[in-house]
Structure 1
Amino acid sequence: MADEKVIQDLKDKFTELYGEGEMRCFFAPGRVNLIGEHIDYNGGHVFPCALTLGTYGVARKRADKKIRFYSTNLAHTGVIEADLDDLVYKKEDDWANYAKGVVWAFMENGFVPECGFDFACTGTIPNKSGLSSSASLEVLTGTVLMGLFGFDTDQVQNARFSQLAENKFVGMNCGIMDQFASAKGQEDKAILLDCATLDYTYTPVVLGDAKLVIVNTNKPHELTNSAYNDRRRECEEALELLRTKKDIQAICQLSPEEFEEIKDVITDPVVQKRAKHAVYEENRCVTAVKELNAGNIPAFGKLMLGSHESLRDDFEVSCEELDVLVEEAWKCEGTIGARMTGGGFGGCTVNIVKGDAVDSFVKTVGERYQARTGLVADFYVVSIGDGAHEVCE
């Protein structure tokens, strides 16, 4: 459900910045991945859901080729201007490069706006939390383009173009999961997405009396400047070696048994661990969805723990703060599942907690986390929402 006050405040700001006139409002959600981490670019399955947290945008066509961007969350950057005829990455354009990149990606694929537009946005996703505020902005921009200019494309292509923008324009070598979840989410459902083919099915997330609780470490992560791109490079190296023994297109095509038979072709122990994570995480993800469909939430939770341990030990994208949150979560009565979510190196954990234990979970985990790290965590009991759309009043 749209946040009417957020929308009205954004419209008021848009009018203040750009003047009176017709305007259209759009929304794209953030996402949380329940299981299946760092395997979207390894040809595996992921299991994300869209959140009711996200990014709202208001836009209006212009008479010239100029594009103007403004974010209420980053008001200090002011109005950032670009031109349709000169869309290039500029460090000083900060966050607007993500939006510019999507316009560039649409144009690269033949969807060329006949004019520029004014754009203002506001996000309800905590910045740098690992809940995909950047993908939300990208998918929002694509939804604005489709709405304003009537482009004959769909949200799957929007997700593709948004990923292209982040890979080639911004320089972040991400997979497609975040953008796909933001573009194609459905209320109260998660998406089992085959990242090799983009085949997908929706699965109802029925947790009984349990709740989804996201906990933000409040240790920001900077994925573009972190080891994320290194991990992808290591996986590519592993794939090339594995292909000398097996005819595969992606690491996640291997079963755990097949991997164990040929893993020694990877002589670098670090690279071998990266491949091991991808293979076993694929198996965990597919198994977890089967358990959820069978109503076996405790089994789903145990697979979440296995996922976190693999991300910590084999893929090495966790950090002390994430590990502390997960450790303290599992000590709490009423915790069914807990793991880091997102790219890692900071950001958030996702937890399944019995409804009557949520208050004590928040209090206990919050106090223990602060005592161990000196940081104050933020807790969000979240709902699963719809994907990107125009907000109709």
Structure 2
Amino acid sequence: MVDADQTFVIVGGGLAGAKAAETLRTEGFTGRVILIGDERDHPYERPPLSKGYLLGKDARESVFVHEPAWYAQNDVELHLGQTVDAIDRTAKTVRFGEDGTLVHYDKLLLTTGAEPRRLDIPGTDLAGVHHLRRLAHAERLKGVLAALGRDNGHLVIAGAGWIGLEVAAAAREYGAEVTVVDPSPTPLHGVLGPELGELFAELHRERGVRFHFGARLTEIVGQDGMVLAARTDDGEEHPAHDVLAAIGAAPRVALAEAAGLELADRAHGGGVVVDAGLRTSDPDVYAAGDVASVPLGLFDTRVRVEHWANALNGGPAAARSMLGKPGEGAAHERVPYFFTDQYDLGMEYSGWAPPGSYDQVVIRGDAGKREFIAFWVAEGRVLAGMNVNVWDVTEPIQRLIRAKAPVDTDALADPHVPLENLAP
């Protein structure tokens, strides 16, 4: 039984942590809620950082999860700009802040997120080398892209994943010259495979983006502290005034590891191992969002998902589990979901279909016009679906995935057959 004498501590001031705090209150928890974040900004959502906010279309205030006053109004003790440096699971305390403040917890939730992977090459200390993970990064990068567009400057992006492509699109809209370098043969190769990756390559080429596939950056060349060029391992040199490292993110597990919590192996994305209720190897410690390695029941595997929907849903699911209500909206039952906006292309993706897991990609609609749905299929079963400039189809796509039953692939490809009719 949860009562007013209990203290729940949340470490990590992002979307997952903020939504967990909100859920604790809406579910009636009357105890103490402490939310500790290492950024000085109030909890915010990350998708706008590479989309609307980066483009200058969304106001800064629009990215925040709650109005600043919400935390005091809901009796959530918010500690911003504070780093937690230790968890004592025996004493059930966390230590944070410059003065080493100790606070007791009855339940602890880790929503420490992920951090951008760094380029381990010469020249990364130059002023024009950037990452995009935090609001401060986006604020800086927005000014950089505007200046590059104004001065016909060059941006080299290491990595053709979601962040790399979204920033490439934003940079071109500002008017900057863009070159994207990636060791894979197509963009998004590890997510979409070669079949759909090429579609995104063509989308960007039409807007003037140059790609250099099958290569990695080996050096960023500069003078007087400024970037001049980026060199690759095949001997090419690309002119550059700025470089963005967009080579993925690593879960922030140092705190959990030091506390002795079980971690997932790299094959499962790393992160903190949790069960279906987002409980770690310690029954009083939970994890959610980018840092959590969650069992994905639909696919009989364990994954760590770094997308917005995972944080949006995972924080509340963990909060309910902490309150003894793990069955309500459990994270492991959800179909992974993410979205992107690049130029005039909007896309939603549901499911999980890494290369090698499927035997065909079925297209419904007109891929040439970029108005279609793609389905990744294995032995007739739909593993994932991506709708491109086709809307209001997420529910039937996810229903097909959940069904885990063979479908008629001819009917799947036929736009005249309602998707709703295909799920058993």
Indicate the structure (1 or 2) with the bigger Cα radius of gyration. Answer: 2
Query: When you count helix as a share of all residues, which structure comes out higher?
Result: 1
Query: When you count strand as a share of all residues, which structure comes out higher?
Result: 2
TM-score, with normalisation over the residues of structure 1? 0.24
TM-score, with normalisation over the residues of structure 2? 0.23
